[in-house]
Amino acid sequence: MQKTHLKLIIWALLLALTLAGAWVVVSGSANLLASFERGAEPASALNIVPNVPPDLHVALSWAADDADSGRQIDPLTRSQIESVYIRAWLQINLSYQKGEPHGLTTYFTGPSLAEVSAAVRRTHSDGFSIEQADTAHHLQLHLSSAEGSIVAFTDHDATVVHVIRDAKGTIISVEETRADYDVVMLLENGLWHVRHWVRRAATEADNRPIAPACPGCARVDGTGLRVDGTPFAVAGINYYPQATPWDTFWPQYDPAVIDRDLSRIKGLGLNTIRIFVPYEQFGGPHVDPIMRDRLSDLLDRAEAQNLKLIVTLFDFRGDYSLLHWADADRQLETLLTYFAGHPAILAWDLKNEPDLDDARVGGQIVDTWLRHIALLARSYDPNHILTIGWSSPTAAVRLVGQVDMVQFHYYAPVAELATGYVALRHAAPDKPLLLGEFGLPTWNTVFPNGHTEAEQATYYAALLSRLQHLDPSTGHLAWTLYDFARVPATVAGRWPWQTGPQAYLGIIRTDGSEKPAAALLAPGANLTIAPLPIWARLLKPFWLLMLGATLVEIVGLAWAFDREIRKRRGAAAPMHPHP
C-alpha cells in the first residue's frame, strides 16, 4: 500500500469518527470524574495499558517520523503505542499456540480483528498447529491525527519465526520470515487497538549500529587467517582455570590467576585460547555488568600477551522455545556491540556443539535459531569472525554459508579423520577449517578404556600429523589446559567413569607439571613419536585387574577340580573289613 493511499484512508476514517470522537471525550470525562469520586485507581480509570512484560525482550526501535506526519506524539503516548503493539503480537502468538483467537479483542478491532481471528481458526481447522514468535520490529510513523486518536505507521522488516506441525505433531516447516506491516491504530475508550494491519514484502530496516574500527582484528584470507596482514595459524587450547573450572570460573574470576595461566599458555608456544560465556551466569537478556567487565579484563590481559581468544557464547543454554529467542538476542546484542572493536577476539563461537541438542528439540529448530543468531551477530559486530563449534566433521557441514570459519571437534580414532575431513572440505572449499576440540584422557584406573600419558602423546602426535598432511592451514585447539579435581555433574554425569575421563583431559597435571603431550601443540613442534609396543598398552590397572581376576579364577577352578578328584577317588576306594 502506497503512503499516499494510506493517508487518504486515515483522513476518511478521521472524518467519519469526528462526531463519535466528541461523544467519547464527553462521556469519557464524565466516567473519569465519576471514577475518581468513587476512589478508583487512576490507572484503572484511565485504562492505561501496562508496560511490556518484563520477561518479553522483543527488539523495537523507531526510525525518524515522516516530516508531514501531523500531530507530534508525546513520549507517553508513543510508549503506550509500543506496548499495545508488542502485546498484540504476543497475543497472536499465544492464539496460534492455543489454536483459538484467545484474547485478541484486547488489542485488535475492526478488520484486523476479523482477519487475525479467521487466520487462527483456519489454521486449526486445517489440522495444523503453529508456534510463532516475533523478535524485532522497526517502526516509522506516517500520521498522527490532530485529536490524537489515530496513528499510522509501518513496521519495517518485522522478524517472525514459525514452527508448523501437522495433526500428529510432526514438524513440517521451520522458518524465519521478514515482512513489512502497514498499521493503523485507533484509540477507543482510552485504549489503543490495531484496526488495520496489512502485510507486504519486507524492506530492510536501516538500524544497524555503527561498529568501531578494529585494525588488529583477524581476517579470513581464503582457507587461512591473517592478523595485521600476516598469516595466522591457530595453535591453542581450550581454557578454564584449574581450581575454578566450568560453573565456578566467572563467579570466582581472579585476575592474578588469569595472568599466570596466560603466561604459561604463551610459554607453551601457543597463540589462541577458547573460552566459554555461560548464558545464565552472564545475566541472560540483561547482561550483568560485573561479568561483562570480567570478560573485558580477560580480553585486555590476553591482548597484553599477544594472545587471541575464541569466545563461545550461550554456553549451557538449551532453551530453543520461540518465545525466548528474543532473550538470547539481547545478550548477543549487548556483548557483541560492546566488544566489536576488541582486537583480542579472534572469533565469536555462536554455540558449543549445538548438534547435540537435535535429539531433544529437532535439528530444524536448532539450525533456524543458529541462522537467526548468525544474521544478528553480523549486524552487531561486522569486525570479528563467526564460527560454530560442531561436535564432529559430519555435523560441521551444516550452515557453512552462515559462518566465516568452519569448526569441528574430534575425539575419534586418528584413522577415521581423513574421511570426515575430506567431506567437510568439499562442503566448505573456500573457508578456513578449525579443529576446535580434540583430546585423549589420561584417566587410567580399574575401569575400562583408560589411557596412559604416553598414549595421549601418541594420539596428539598422530592426529596433528594427519591434520597437517590434509591441510597445513587448519588450526587446532586441544581440550584442555589442565586436569581438574572437580567436574560438575552437568558436564558429564555423576558416575566415576563419567567424571573421571573428563577430569584428566588436560596437558598439565593437577600438581602443575606438564604431560608429554604439552610439547606437541606449538607451531612447528616435533611430532615424531615412537609407537607404543602392544605390551605397554596392556600394563594398565584395568588389564592387570583382569589378569589378577583371571589367575584367581584359574587357581579356584584348579582347587575345586583337585578337590572333586580327591572326593571321587575316596568314594571309589574298596572297603576292607577289620580283622
Please write the tens of the pLDDT for every residue from 171-196. Answer: 999 999 999 999 999 999 899 999 99
Q: Is residue 343 part of a domain?
A: yes
- E strand or H helix at 250, and its extent? none
- Are 459 and 485 contacting, i.e. CB atoms less than 8 angstroms apart? no
Q: Tell me the sheet residues that pair with 276.
A: 312
In this structure, which amino acid lies at residue 387? T
Determine if residue 303 is left, alpha or beta; phi over 0 gives left, psi from -120 to 50 gives alpha, anything else beta.
Answer: alpha
Please tell me whether residues 159 and 289 are part of one structural domain: no
Distance of CA 75 to the CA centre of its chain: 35
- For the domain that residue 389 is a member of, what is the CATH number? 3.20.20.80
Using an 8 Å Cβ cutoff, are 460 and 520 in contact?
yes
Choosing from 149, 177, 201, the residue where a domain stops is: 201
Q: How many angstroms separate the CA atoms of 196 and 338, rounded?
A: 39
**Range with the poorest average pLDDT among 22-26, 32-36, 97-101, 422-426:** 32-36
Output 85 or 30, whichever has higher pLDDT.
Answer: 85
Residue 260 pLDDT > 70:
yes
Pairing relation of β-strands 433-438 and 475-478?
parallel
The answer to whether position 287 is within a domain reads: yes
Note whether 159 and 81 are within 8 A (CB): no
Q: Is 567 found in the same domain as 442?
A: no
Q: Where are the alpha helices (DSSP H) in 99-246?
A: 110-125
When pLDDT is cut at 50, 70 and 90, the band that residue 495 belongs to is confident
Question: Is 183 inside a domain boundary?
Answer: yes
Q: Say whether both 339 and 469 belong to one domain.
A: yes
Q: Are 527 and 551 in the same domain?
A: no
Q: Are residues 367 and 406 in the same domain?
A: yes
Q: Looking at residue 170, what is its pLDDT?
A: 94
Residue 214 lies in a domain: no
Same domain, 259 and 192: no
The answer to whether residues 98 and 247 belong to one domain is no
Contact 261, 481 (CB under 8 A): yes
**Same domain for 51 and 23:** yes
Shared-domain flag, residues 426 and 284: yes
Do 362 and 406 share a structural domain?
yes
> What does 50-64 look like in DSSP terms, one character per residue?
PPSPTT---EEEEPP
Residue 196 sits in a domain whose CATH number is 3.10.450
Question: CA–CA separation, 481 vs 577, rounded Å?
Answer: 84
Question: Out of 44-58, 103-117, 197-211, which region has the weakest mean confidence (pLDDT)?
Answer: 44-58
Name the band, by pLDDT with cuts 50, 70 and 90, for residue 532.
confident
Domain count, the chain: 3
Based on the fold, state whether residues 74 and 55 are members of the same structural domain: yes
Domain range for residue 144? 3-201
Place of cell 499456540: 97
Within 8 A by CB and 6+ apart from 248, the residues are none
Task: Confirm whether 467 is domain-assigned.
Answer: yes
418 and 462 within one domain: yes
Q: What angle do CA 179, 182, 188 make, to 5 degrees?
A: 135
Instruction: Give whole-number Cα distances, 442 to 4, 283, 353, 474, 538, in Å.
Output: 73, 35, 23, 26, 15
> For the whole model, what pTM was predicted?
0.86
User: What is the gyration radius of the CA atoms in the chain, in angstroms?
Assistant: 33
Residue 434 has phi, psi (to 5 degrees) of: -140, 125
> What is the reported pLDDT for 314?
98
Q: What is the pLDDT of residue 493?
A: 81
Cβ atoms of residues 257 and 297 within 8 Å: no
Under 8 Å between Cβ of 97 and 20: no
Q: Determine, yes or no, domain membership for 471.
A: yes
Does residue 218 contact residue 386 with C-beta atoms inside 8 Å?
no
Examine the fold and report which residue of 201, 220, 241 is the final residue of a domain before the chain moves on: 201
- Pairing between β-strand 475-478 and β-strand 219-221 as defined by DSSP bridges: unpaired
Residue 317 lies in a domain: yes
Max CA pair span of the chain: 143
**Residue 345 domain flag:** yes
Q: Tell me whether strands 308-315 and 345-352 are parallel, antiparallel or unpaired.
A: parallel
CB 345 within 8 A of CB 217: yes
- Could you give the residue ranges of the DSSP H alpha helices within 126-192? none
